[in-house]
């Protein structure tokens, strides 16, 4: 069991460390690479996974609902924690809700559950993305416009992929191969980019950073366990949802906090300490469910 967990976690963390070391030495500007990844590579991955013949939307309804419950439920629990500790809920709650399903979660799901889990893993990422661009923006700014969703290439590509899946359309195989090749670039680039981002983060506001680092996986795993049991999900779905709940805060939480002026230095601390603490919580989640 120990060797299996190491085999799952090691490829992710070695790439994070390579990105971290490269970031420390070279200080690369990852803005262009990350923009291309979000605008081209990740949408290609979403489309190829959702439009593929092995994907069935009905088969992934349970895990999609479970993902939404985990995101919203962990946010509600963290709101209570923030109130009890006298912290600003707008600072602590969003990072606990929107975890690192992209940089860390997607590769982790594939390494843990195999390539057949790609469709479900993309659904998890899709649900988190939609909620972050709706509920997340509303939490930080108090406003939201539906038109904002259609400016996101990820959501447009996901919608196109779902339409292809539901209608049974056949995409020209060479075109699908080309799209898949683009999508395959995204996973390694996401992990490397996470390491580079962490290399420039400042360890400030350590108290709220530690609280966020612990609250995020604990509430996520708790809500995932309760929902999986109550909804009578399959064992594989329960395991995927539980591992999803154990993921650390997303780097994008810092970007949103910076955009809306919501104590970005504290959110950066939550993200940095949270991703470091994943060395503890992810192996724990894998040990409990595998």
Contact status, residue 196 vs residue 275, Cβ threshold 8 Å: no
Cα angle value 272/274/279 (rounded, 5°): 105
Q: What is the pLDDT along the chain (290 residues), one digit of tens a residue?
A: 566 667 777 887 888 889 989 999 998 988 788 888 888 998 898 898 888 766 677 778 899 999 999 999 999 999 999 999 999 999 999 999 999 887 788 888 888 888 888 888 888 988 998 898 888 888 888 776 666 667 778 888 888 988 888 888 888 999 999 999 999 898 888 778 878 877 876 666 688 889 999 999 999 999 999 999 899 888 999 999 999 999 999 877 877 787 788 887 788 788 888 888 888 899 999 998 87
Per-residue DSSP letter, 171? -
- The residue whose two tokens read 């708790």 is 222
Contact status, residue 134 vs residue 71, Cβ threshold 8 Å: no
- The residue whose two tokens read 């489309």 is 47
Structural domains of the chain in order of their starting residue, each with its CATH number: 32-102+116-186+204-289 (1.20.1530.20)
The DSSP bridge partners found for residue 249 are 99
C-alpha distances (whole Å) from 79 to each of 92, 95, 213, 253 are 8, 11, 15, 16
Q: Where does residue 52 fall: left (phi above 0), alpha (psi -120 to 50 degrees), or beta otherwise?
A: beta
């Amino acid at each position: 069991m120990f060797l299996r967990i190491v085999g799952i976690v090691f490829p992710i963390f070695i790439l994070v460390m390579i990105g971290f070391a490269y970031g420390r030495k070279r200080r690369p500007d990852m803005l262009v690479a990350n923009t291309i990844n979000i605008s081209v590579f990740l949408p290609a991955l979403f489309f190829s996974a959702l439009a593929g013949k092995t994907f069935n939307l009905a088969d992934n309804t349970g895990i999609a609902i479970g993902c939404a419950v985990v995101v919203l439920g962990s946010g509600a629990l963290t709101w209570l924690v923030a109130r009890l500790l006298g912290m600003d809920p707008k600072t602590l709650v969003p990072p606990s809700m929107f975890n690192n399903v992209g940089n860390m979660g997607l590769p982790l799901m594939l390494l843990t559950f195999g390539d057949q889990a790609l469709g479900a893993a993309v659904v998890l990422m899709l649900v988190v993305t939609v909620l972050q661009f709706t509920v997340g923006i509303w939490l930080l700014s108090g406003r939201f416009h539906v038109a904002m969703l259609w400016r996101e290439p990820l959501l447009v590509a996901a919608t196109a992929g779902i339409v292809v899946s539901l209608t049974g359309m056949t995409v020209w195989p060479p075109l699908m191969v080309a799209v898949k090749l683009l999508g395959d670039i995204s996973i390694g680039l996401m992990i490397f980019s996470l390491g580079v981002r962490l290399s420039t983060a400042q360890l400030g506001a350590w108290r709220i950073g530690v609280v966020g680092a612990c609250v995020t996986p604990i509430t996520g795993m708790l809500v995932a366990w309760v929902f999986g049991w109550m909804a009578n999900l399959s064992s594989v779905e329960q395991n995927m949802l539980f591992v999803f709940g154990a993921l650390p805060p997303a780097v994008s939480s810092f970007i949103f906090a910076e955009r809306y002026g919501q104590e970005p230095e504290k959110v950066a601390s939550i993200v940095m300490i949270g991703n470091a603490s994943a060395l503890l919580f992810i192996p724990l989640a894998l040990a409990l469910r595998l």
